[in-house]
Amino acid sequence: MTKKMKRILLAAIAILPLHLCLAAPYQPGHDGQILERLPAAGSANRDLRQLRGQLAARPGQTELAVALAERYIARGKAEADPRDYGHAEGVLKNWLQLPEPPPNVLLLGALIKQHRHDFDGALLDLDKVLRRQPDNAQGWLTRAVILLVQARYRDALQSCAPLIDLDDTLLAGTCLAEANSLLGQAQKSYDFLREALADQPAAGSEQRQWTLAVLADIAARLGKVLDAEKHFAAAASIEQPNVYLFGAYADFLLDQRQPRKVLSLLRDKVRIDALFLRIALAKQQLGGSNLDQAVGELGARFAASRMRGENLHQGDEARFMLHLLHKPEEALRLAKANWQAQREAKDARILLEAAVAAHDPEAAKPVLELLAATGMEHPQLRQLAAQIRQMP
Amino acid sequence: MLFRLILYLLILAYTPMLHAHKASDSYLTLQAAGERIDGRWDIALRDLDYALGLDGDDNGEITWGEVRGRRAAVFDYALSHLHITGGKQACALQPGDYLIDTHTDGAYSVLMFTAACGAALSNITVDYSLLFDLDPQHRGLLRVEYGQATHTAVLGPAHPRQLIELAEARSGAAFWQYLQEGVWHIWLGYDHILFLLSLLFPAVLIRHNRIWLPAEQFRPVLFEVVKIVTAFTVAHSLTLSLATLGVIALPSRWVESAIAASVVLAALNNVYPLISKRLWLVAFGFGLIHGLGFANVLKDLGLPNNMLVLALLAFNLGVETGQLAIVSAFLPAAFLCRRNWGYRRLLVDAGSVLIVLIALVWLTERAMNTQLVDWAFLFE
């Protein structure tokens, strides 16, 4: 069997919901056999269980429910485990069903919706929160982040602005710098944010991490590869890096063709589909022999999530289709659907890449328009856009 | 060979060592047949732990011992969150095997169960509420298998109940399937084709003073053929329906032998004509027997109880369609060639003799329940 045939076979099998058709249930051999390891074993899990117990004893306690839901969301953010968000929603269910949920519940509800990519729903909830609590910094910040994902940079700037009077300046500065950097002000934003970070040595670790991640992203777009690498590494060294940071760092390393660094960065992140995709792409760069298994596994995961009628991963799935399965048309379909929900630079990039591969310059139009309207600095996007303009 | 090996390795590879993070799903498969449903329900151990606390020693690891020890509680919990109704009647759920399987996001307990619904199922309603109170993002991925058909649905808090019309949803497909089976049966049932041809051979001729003369006009010929085919059709439809509905039942060996005998007699009648008028009566009489033969085929195919009549009708229509195709191919050709010496000598006389011989072999084979000729080899 030729290598190509093997690839095709693998690809065909990868898109089947294999775990259903090949599933063979069994009876484990002995009682001691470990079937499943629970996430965050030990004290963290026990704390959560204790809180759950307290809430079960006093089910009406809003503060208790909010505290528990916050814990789940924090873990969900770190581990990108959708079950955590589901559990948070379950804890808050009774309050979310009220005609006017308390603002702190509504805010968490917005975070849960954001995770589900229900961005418009989350924005509506946030507007309700902010009408009642105009000084809710978390509310303005979450709103700005969602608007950035929707490529509504000017709206995002307006959502960053109230933060200036509310919280520490680094939070507001990072928010403003990120939005401005996407509006053709990359160099200015970078210089400003570097200074702002240097001025705030006492900033909290989570804040520093976010600021460093934004600096790294801007530096990469300005072609300052060494600075970007330095910022990424600094951000990742701070405790509990989130999936977003890992994904951005891995993409940067893939662009620098440093697959080994990707593999070591994401060593224990195979559970997370988005990061497992980066692992597979790194294996592809290395030309290793175990790529096929990773491709098959990824395909099964995408199929499993499709079965529940979910399309949260269309951007990643498009990259999977294009770069690992070499199916440009499928990839373009997914990238276009993804663009309807998410419009970050990485979403723009896969749409352009798929449009180039599928020889469909028309599909790239929304991204070309965005680039023209914003003046965004992004060498890879600009290069792809030039390629598309030269297409017949 | 290599292909198989790769496939096998792939299957092994799919017992995922690296479990993914995934939103909570359960996989509920129901196989409906008659009054009974066989169920298989895969529920993640993580979800069961969240709901029931499986990790007894709280060490973050769930062992088979911990899962096995909670069998009754798990079944109670799961089955109390699932209501299946067949028609208007609630089905009683009975726990069965308790196993383990692996999905992309980890180990699942596999709950096997049966549901007794008390009446033949024409539709089922699945009312699902597992885990919705604890995780509104939980989804029940329902799969209902019924005969050849499969229905799937995603059940969530906003859509916890699914009605599945077993008959209706499938009737279109079933009709088409049985229609095709009917056509195929005529095409592949050489005994029916030869019987029909034996009756049709002399249709374009007129028996006069013990010799065959070509018919002068097409209209009487067509009329004769229509009479024969209609008689055959009415007769076999009658017995096919009666046998399928269980009103009459004859051993298939008798029926098959009688069909072979009918072919012998019909062909022999062309060589030594005993009956040259009212051939339609012959067609009707033997048609009754052929209908019983069709019924046996239909029984082998398996009929859905809840749309017996539909399938019967479709199969019958299929048989007619196949028959009509043969007649409309045969009749114009035969009419054109009827004056030709070859038609009478080669086809009607020699052809009929050949048919008699073949049918005699069939008759012997079927009556004695042996095989004299390797037909499959012959027709390859």
Same domain, B57 and B98: yes
The answer to whether B188 and B198 are in contact (CB under 8 A) is no
Is the residue at B71 inside a domain? Answer: yes
> Rounded distance, CA A169 to CA A106, Å?
26
- Can you spell out the DSSP letters for A220-280? HHTT-HHHHHHHHHHHHHSSS--HHHHHHHHHHHHHTT-HHHHHHHTTT-TTSHHHHHHHH
Same domain, B35 and B156: yes
Same domain, B235 and B321: yes
Which pair of tokens denotes residue B150? 């499969």
> Which residues of B fall within a CB distance of 8 Å from A271?
18-21
- How would residue B126 be classed by pLDDT, with cut points 50, 70 and 90? very high
* HSE-CB for A89 with a 13 A CA cutoff: 24
> Which residues of B fall within a CB distance of 8 Å from A85?
137
pLDDT of A18 > 50? The answer is no
Same domain, B229 and B371: yes
CB count, 10 Å around CB of A390? 8
- Can you spell out the DSSP letters for A320-360? IIIIIS--HHHHHHHHHHHHHH--SHHHHHHHHHHHHHTT-
When CB atoms are compared, the residue of A93, A272, A310 closest to B21 is A272
> Which residues of A fall within a CB distance of 8 Å from B64?
28-33, 35
- DSSP, collapsed to helix, strand or coil, labels residue B111 as strand
A271 with B18: Cβ contact below 8 A:
yes
The answer to whether A392 and A199 are in contact (CB under 8 A) is no
pLDDT of B69 > 90? The answer is yes
B23 with A20: Cβ contact below 8 A:
no
Query: Count of residues for chain B?
Result: 380
Task: Please give the residue of chain B at the shortest CA–CA distance from A301.
Answer: B104
A304 with B22: Cβ contact below 8 A:
yes
Whole-number pLDDT of residue B55 = 84
Of chain A, the end-to-end C-alpha distance in Å amounts to 38
The answer to whether A370 and A348 are in contact (CB under 8 A) is yes
- How would residue B8 be classed by pLDDT, with cut points 50, 70 and 90? very low
Whole-number pLDDT of residue B33 = 81
* Paired sense of beta strands B61-63 and B106-116, if any: unpaired
Q: Which of B40-54, B175-189, B243-257, B351-365: highest mean pLDDT?
A: B40-54
- How would residue A20 be classed by pLDDT, with cut points 50, 70 and 90? very low
When CB atoms are compared, the residue of A20, A26, A86 closest to B136 is A86
> Rounded distance, CA B142 to CA B41, Å?
9
Evaluate the CA torsion angle A48, A51, A53, A58 in order and state its sign: negative
Whole-number pLDDT of residue A14 = 42
Whole-number pLDDT of residue A21 = 38
Is the residue at B175 inside a domain? Answer: no
Q: Which whole-number Å values give the CA distances from B338 to A51, B216, B351, in the listed order?
A: 96, 10, 14
When CB atoms are compared, the residue of A22, A83, A309 closest to B11 is A22
ipTM > 0.90 (yes/no): no
Whole-number pLDDT of residue B7 = 42
**Chain position carrying tokens 């209902």:** B144
> Rounded distance, CA B203 to CA B224, Å?
7
Which pair of tokens denotes residue B297? 């085929």
pLDDT of B14 > 50? The answer is no
Same domain, B144 and B259: no
> Which residues of A fall within a CB distance of 8 Å from B22?
82-83, 301, 304-305
Whole-number pLDDT of residue B78 = 96
pLDDT of B87 > 80? The answer is no
Same domain, B216 and B341: yes
Mutate to test the interface with A, among B6, B40, B104, B109 (most CBs of A within 10 A): B104
> Which residues of B fall within a CB distance of 8 Å from A39?
46
A152 closest CA partner among A374, A330, A381, A2 = A374
> Rounded distance, CA B257 to CA B244, Å?
19
pLDDT digits (tens, 9 = 90+) for A161-210: 999 988 678 999 999 999 999 999 999 999 999 999 999 988 899 999 99
Whole-number pLDDT of residue A233 = 97
- How would residue B21 be classed by pLDDT, with cut points 50, 70 and 90? confident
Residues A253-278, mean pLDDT to the nearest whole number: 93
Is the residue at B244 inside a domain? Answer: yes
Q: Which ranges in A97-132 belong to alpha helices (H)?
A: 103-115, 119-132
Mutate to test the interface with B, among A35, A47, A292 (most CBs of B within 10 A): A35
Q: Which of B146, B168, B190 is the last residue of a domain?
A: B168
Evaluate the CA torsion angle B329, B334, B335, B340 in order and state its sign: positive
Q: Which ranges in B272-307 belong to alpha helices (H)?
A: 279-301
> Rounded distance, CA A159 to CA A161, Å?
6
B291 closest CA partner among B326, B225, B240, B360 = B240
> Rounded distance, CA B183 to CA B243, Å?
19
Q: What is the mean pLDDT of chain A?
A: 90
The answer to whether A22 and B58 are in contact (CB under 8 A) is no
pLDDT of B71 > 90? The answer is yes
B19 with A30: Cβ contact below 8 A:
no
Q: What is the CA radius of gyration of chain B?
A: 30
Is the residue at B85 inside a domain? Answer: yes
B379 closest CA partner among B177, B154, B187, B91 = B187
pLDDT of A104 > 70? The answer is yes
Residues A55-81, mean pLDDT to the nearest whole number: 90
Whole-number pLDDT of residue B322 = 87
Same domain, B199 and B148: no
Mutate to test the interface with B, among A2, A33, A36 (most CBs of B within 10 A): A36
Q: Which amino acid is at B350?
A: A
A191 closest CA partner among A204, A205, A179, A177 = A177
Whole-number pLDDT of residue A19 = 35
A359 touches chain B (CB under 8 A): no
The answer to whether B259 and B191 are in contact (CB under 8 A) is yes
Phi/psi at B9 (nearest 5 deg)? -60, -35
* CB contact residues (below 8 A), chain A span 88-127, against chain B: 89-90, 93, 116
Whole-number pLDDT of residue A271 = 86
pTM: 0.68
The answer to whether A212 and A233 are in contact (CB under 8 A) is no
Please tell me the distance in Å from B311's CA to the nearest CA on chain A. Answer: 29
Q: Which whole-number Å values give the CA distances from A250 to A216, A246, A316, A371, B102, in the listed order?
A: 12, 6, 13, 24, 29
> Rounded distance, CA B61 to CA A37, Å?
5
Question: What percent of chain A is predicted at pLDDT more than 70?
Answer: 93
Q: Among A71-85, B3-17, B177-191, B215-229, whose mean pLDDT is lowest? A: B3-17
Whole-number pLDDT of residue A2 = 52
Residues A10-16, mean pLDDT to the nearest whole number: 43
The answer to whether A70 and A108 are in contact (CB under 8 A) is yes
Whole-number pLDDT of residue B185 = 80
When CB atoms are compared, the residue of A35, A80, A309 closest to B67 is A35
* CB contact residues (below 8 A), chain A span 13-42, against chain B: 13, 18-20, 22-42
Please tell me the distance in Å from A35's CA to the nearest CA on chain B. Answer: 5
> Which residues of B fall within a CB distance of 8 Å from A41?
59-61
Whole-number pLDDT of residue B303 = 62
> Which residues of A fall within a CB distance of 8 Å from B100?
25-28, 35
Which pair of tokens denotes residue B31? 């196989």
Task: Please give the residue of chain A at the shortest CA–CA distance from B3.
Answer: A1
Same domain, B159 and B254: no
Whole-number pLDDT of residue A11 = 44
* Domain count within chain B: 2
Residues B58-69, mean pLDDT to the nearest whole number: 90
- How would residue B111 be classed by pLDDT, with cut points 50, 70 and 90? very high
> Which residues of B fall within a CB distance of 8 Å from A82?
21-24, 137
Q: Which amino acid is at B349?
A: D
Is the residue at B51 inside a domain? Answer: yes
Is the residue at B206 inside a domain? Answer: yes
What lies within 8 Å, CB to CB, of A266 at 6+ separation is: A246, A250, A275, A276, A278, A279, A282
Which pair of tokens denotes residue A72? 């789940």
pLDDT digits (tens, 9 = 90+) for A302-316: 988 888 877 788 999
Same domain, B191 and B338: yes
Q: Which domain holds residue B305?
A: 2-20+181-379
A82 touches chain B (CB under 8 A): yes
- How would residue B218 be classed by pLDDT, with cut points 50, 70 and 90? confident
B21 with A276: Cβ contact below 8 A:
no
Same domain, B154 and B269: no
- DSSP, collapsed to helix, strand or coil, labels residue B177 as helix
Which pair of tokens denotes residue B167? 């008959």
Return the higher-pLDDT residue of A113 and B217: A113
CB pairs under 8 A between A and B: 168
Whole-number pLDDT of residue A229 = 97
Q: What is the DSSP letter of B159?
A: B
Whole-number pLDDT of residue A72 = 92
- How would residue A110 be classed by pLDDT, with cut points 50, 70 and 90? very high
Whole-number pLDDT of residue A1 = 45
Q: Which amino acid is at A391?
A: M
Mutate to test the interface with A, among B41, B74, B135, B152 (most CBs of A within 10 A): B135
Residues paired with residue B27 on neighbouring β-strands, in sequence order = B42, B141
Please tell me the distance in Å from B66's CA to the nearest CA on chain A. Answer: 8
pLDDT of B2 > 50? The answer is no
Q: Which whole-number Å values give the CA distances from A358 to A328, A354, A362, A388, in the listed order?
A: 5, 6, 11, 11
> Rounded distance, CA A384 to CA B339, Å?
79
Q: What is the CA radius of gyration of chain A?
A: 22
Q: Which whole-number Å values give the CA distances from A332 to A240, A315, A321, A391, in the listed order?
A: 34, 10, 9, 16
Same domain, B366 and B280: yes
A52 closest CA partner among A67, A40, A37, A74 = A67
User: In b/e form, how buried is each residue of A52-73, taking b as 16+ CB within 10 angstroms?
Assistant: beebeeeeeeeebbbebbbbbb
Same domain, B363 and B281: yes
Residues B282-291, mean pLDDT to the nearest whole number: 89
